[in-house]
Structure 1
Amino acid sequence: MHIFEGNLRQSGPQYLMNLNRSRFKEQACQTGILLSIATGFAIPVSTTLTSILSFGVLLCWVISGQYLVSFEILKKYRVSAASAVFFSFLMLGLFYTPESFSIAARNLFKYRQFILIPIYLSFFLDPKARRYGIQMFEVAMVITLIGSIYYSFWPLIGMDDPFINRSIFKNRITQNILMAFLVYLAAWKFLEKPRRRWPYAILVLVATFNIIALVPGRSGYLAMVILVCVLMCQKFGFKGLIPAAICIGGIGLLAYSQSQIFKDRINQAISEVNEYNASKIRHRGVDLRIEFYENSLYLAKSSPIFGSGIGSFNLKYQQLMQERKQISTANPHNEYIMLLVQNGGIGVCLFLGFFWICWRTTRSMTGLDQALGQAILAVYFVVCMVNSLMLDTTEGNLFGYLVGVTFAGGISCVGQNADSQLPEPSDKEIMQPIMRDAA
């Protein structure tokens, strides 16, 4: 029995079709696919459920022998190889970090999405599985949207803080980032077939209202801006930046004049930046971030090539803060700076290299796989400059999951190129197995 019971013949390349396995292993593989699809729902809803499902996916991956598929993909698909190389370099940091092994290993585990990417790639080869995986994420976010709107207008007793009662399963920053992806998916599907998919337009408006007017998460604002630009460029090329700018400017002005939450968050950010050099007291979001960046870059000077080792940031930063008498942190809120301190310039280059390889790979992809893949890369590439998204559990899991779902669609393209280079079998080679079976 072939992998996916023959589905791979239609969706996967020839080099993944030569593995035969028992019925039990095939059932384990199908279970792994179902668990992978369910993970799309769990990530926005529950960290515990996500961890359980991820462990189940890993277990099915081993039992079913799907690791052989991942190994074949690793040899021929650069996205999988780049992910494995980046994580392997992070592992090297365990050997020279000044932090204890247990703490360093926990820090390394936060980058587990780069190990899960090759696993998800092997389970999402079927286009139906990819479609269901994205739909499960959309369902979870629609439930989140409904709950967020409900608690905005009918808050729970004793929960009057708008920072609390408008975010449901995750914190306000995480929810807004995830909600921005729901807006993108709904907008993309609406623009594909506007007359048949008009309910998606309503979903876009409601989810956008939730992000801007109800949940005060500035990272979500930034993600929305990026996704609008990406979507317009995907539909109209670089000329799409003009309608994107008009759309962003119009929504921004409307939100600033009508939404007190949006206005307060924007004004706060502007005032914190203006007051950074005028005051030595830093106790709020933006000014603290700038202080974290400056101190972290100072730490990176001690080992600019290889860094000080995985998990070492907190230890190094605390030592520096004892000298400078400033607020300590375990997270600089910038993924690139975190990697620079812990893994040096090589770690940053490998991280950027992964993004570059993924972006080039999207050129050979089509449909929603290509569109969502580019959207993911654009958002994480930019927002990682103001948040350590790979260290955050939900954002990190979402990145690994969506990369696995979307870029699995590019494996068939690689397979077609590989299959086209295979020599045509001769009549003798075709007849040999037939005669052997007949005997």
Structure 2
Amino acid sequence: MTIAEKLSNSMNNTATWMAIAMGFALPISTAASNIFLGLTLFFFALSGNYYRKFQSLVRNPVALMILAFVALTALGGLYGQGDITDKKFYFGKYASLLAAPLLMPLFSSARHRLYALIAFSLAMLLTLVLSYALRFGWVPSATGFLADRALTGTSNPVVFKLSITHGFLMAISAFMFALGAQYAQLFFWRRTFIILAILAGVNVLFMVIGRTGYLVLVALATYLFYCRFGKKGLALALFFSLAIGTLAYQLSDTFYDRTRTAIAEAQAWKPKAGDKSSIGLRLDYYSNTLAIIKDHPWFGVGVGGFEVAYSAKIKGTQMAPSNNPHNQYLLTSAQFGLLGMVALISLFATLLWQARYLAPPYQQIAYGVLFAFLIGNTFNSFMLDFTERLFFAWICGVLFSGLPERKTLDKHHRT
């Protein structure tokens, strides 16, 4: 091996470890996540072998679909409403998805993919421990690392992130811990993962106020039951979901209050009345965005046009302005029209289709994460939110780097 080859391998290996470290940083710190992403790109650029890496990307259907989706968002900057600042803001969010294909060549080794998932799980374990410590008063709520001291305390013990992100990632972590129990060979680790899965699930349902986390946890539990028991698992999941939901409603003040509040706010909402409640605002966002889509059905208002179009739609009313409708499907449709909606659906469809070629447990993790994002994007615009957006790109880069070569895929499809 020449000196140049040794140097290239060293830079590539360093880039991989920076990407693994990013998995630990994502649930904890925005600044650290950006630093490790920057270091990953820096060492990736120094590692060379660009042609080989390019070949691996063009053989990967997931990488190609992500590139196509980002290209569409770039085209959305050539027309529509909004100034250059608005267009740069929104396109910059979508462009972050390019981290996924850039990470794929770094995780060609199954060992590194495992290390990446362990790094993320350790960060969530730290979050879980600190959340329980906050809940029981072992850590003061004025501690400096908290995401928002005003919204944190024993009644809502979120740690590094706010409640939606905390609940969303913790629900995914509970799912991953449960999978760890399924695949663990030693009794000690199987029991440990079961305990962690239960603690994470309790954290989502009984301790944190994020409603998105509730729905994601139920969906992932249903998928786990289906994997384990087949169609009978769906009936079991329904039974246990109803039982646990009833228990949470009766015993958890957090779950009870959030559920009752959501129902009351939805019932009290009136169109164009300028409702300031959480659910009322979202219903305003949805109705006004649907009106924008109706006005611009084919190509939308452009990548930077949503905020301008929304402001025009609520002019002369008491409704609050917004830069997104808190629903990724509506946002994409408003920005890029029917073409954008088709592209977004195609992106998720490609990911779901290609996940079947992954080896277990990566296959189950991929399906679980995708189900989580499909649900989460119904109530949030996750491609605008830093942690969720970059986590999506990171986890896709880690998991779908394990796709077999296209020839192997074709052979598998024929059989």
Equivalent residue of 1:139, what SS?
helix
Amino acid at match of 1:163: L
Larger Rg: 1
Q: Does 1:224 align with 2:217?
A: yes
Aligned mates of 2:405, 2:366 — CA distance in 1: 15
2-side partners of 1:263 and 1:181: how far apart?
22
User: How big is the shift at 1:96?
Assistant: 1.1
Q: Matches of 2:51 and 2:377 in 1, distance apart?
A: 33
Q: Is the 8 A contact 1:293 1:337 kept in 2?
A: yes
Q: Deviations along 1:402-432, whole A, 9 cap, x unmatched?
A: 111111111x253645899xxxxxxxxxxxx
Counterpart of 1:293? 286
| CA displacement at 1:68 relative to structure 2 | 3.0
Question: CA 1:413 to 1:251, structure 2 compared with 1: closer, same or farther past 3 Å?
Answer: farther
* Distance of 2:227 and 2:323 partners within structure 1: 38
What is aligned with 2:238?
245
From 381, 387, 391, the counterpart of 1:388: 381
Letter in 2 for 1:188: L
Conserved 8 A contact 1:296-1:337:
yes
Could you tell me which residue of structure 2 aligns to residue 72 of structure 1? 55
Residue in structure 1 matched with residue 167 of structure 2 by the alignment: 176
Task: From the superposition, tell whether residues 323 and 241 of structure 1 become closer, same or farther in structure 2 (CA, over 3 Å).
Answer: same
Instruction: Please identify, of 146-155 and 292-301, the stretch whose mean Cα deviation from structure 2 is larger.
Output: 146-155
- Residue 48 of structure 1 aligns to a residue whose secondary structure is helix
Q: What is the match of residue 301 of structure 2? A: 308
Equivalent in the alignment of 1:141 = 124
The code of the aligned residue for 2:140 comes to L
Deviation at 1:280, TM superposition (A): 3.3
Structure-2 change in CA distance of 1:21 and 1:307 (3 Å) = farther
In 1, the alpha carbon distance for the partners of 2:246 and 2:364 equals 28
The match for 1:205 among 195, 198, 201 is: 198
The number of equivalent residue pairs is 402
Q: Please list every run of 5 or more consecutive structure 1 residues that lacks an aligned counterpart in the other structure.
A: 3-19, 421-439
Q: 1:37 aligns with which of 20, 35, 39?
A: 20
Q: How does 1:159-170 map to 2 (within 5 A)?
A: 163-165=151-153, 166-170=157-161
Q: Which of 95, 99, 102 is 1:119 aligned to?
A: 102
- The change in CA–CA distance for 1:327 and 1:230 in structure 2 (over 3 A counts) is same
Check whether the contact 1:70–1:118 (CA below 8 A) recurs between aligned residues: no
Note closer, same or farther for the CA distance 1:227–1:262 as it changes in structure 2 (3 Å cut): same
Matched residue, 2:182: 191
For 2:358 and 2:220, the matched residues in 1 are separated by: 19
Question: What is the CA–CA distance in structure 2 between the aligned matches of 1:252 and 1:136, rounded to whole Å?
Answer: 31
The offset of 1:72, in angstroms, is 1.1
SS in structure 1 opposite 2:379? coil
**Which residue type is aligned with residue 291 of structure 2?**
Y
Query: Does structure 1 residue 414 correspond to structure 2 residue 406?
Result: yes
8 Å Cα contact 2:274-2:320 kept in structure 1: no
Question: Is the Cα–Cα contact under 8 Å of residues 174 and 395 in structure 1 kept in the other structure?
Answer: yes
CA distance in 1, matches of 2:4, 2:343: 36
**Could you tell me which residue of structure 1 aligns to residue 397 of structure 2?**
404
Q: Within 2, Cα distance between the matches of 1:26 and 1:328?
A: 51
1:116 partner amino acid: A
Cα RMSD after superposing both structures: 2.3
Cα distance change, pair 55–69 in 1 and its aligned pair in 2 (3 A): farther
Partner of 1:53: 36
For each residue in 1:284-303, what CA deviation from the matched residue of structure 2 results, as whole angstroms up to 9, or x when unmatched? 11121111111011112232
- Determine if contact 1:122/1:408 at 8 Å carries over to the other structure: yes
Identity of aligned residues (%): 28
Distance 2:280 2:305 in 1: 24
In structure 2, runs of 5+ residues without a counterpart are: none
Q: Structure 1 length normalisation: TM-score?
A: 0.86
Distance apart, 1:399 and its partner CA: 0.7
Aligned partner (choices 329, 345, 348) of residue 336 of structure 1: 329
Contact 2:22 2:33 in 1 (8 A): yes
Instruction: Report the Cα distance in structure 2 between the residues aligned to 1:29 and 1:418, rounded to whole angstroms.
Output: 29
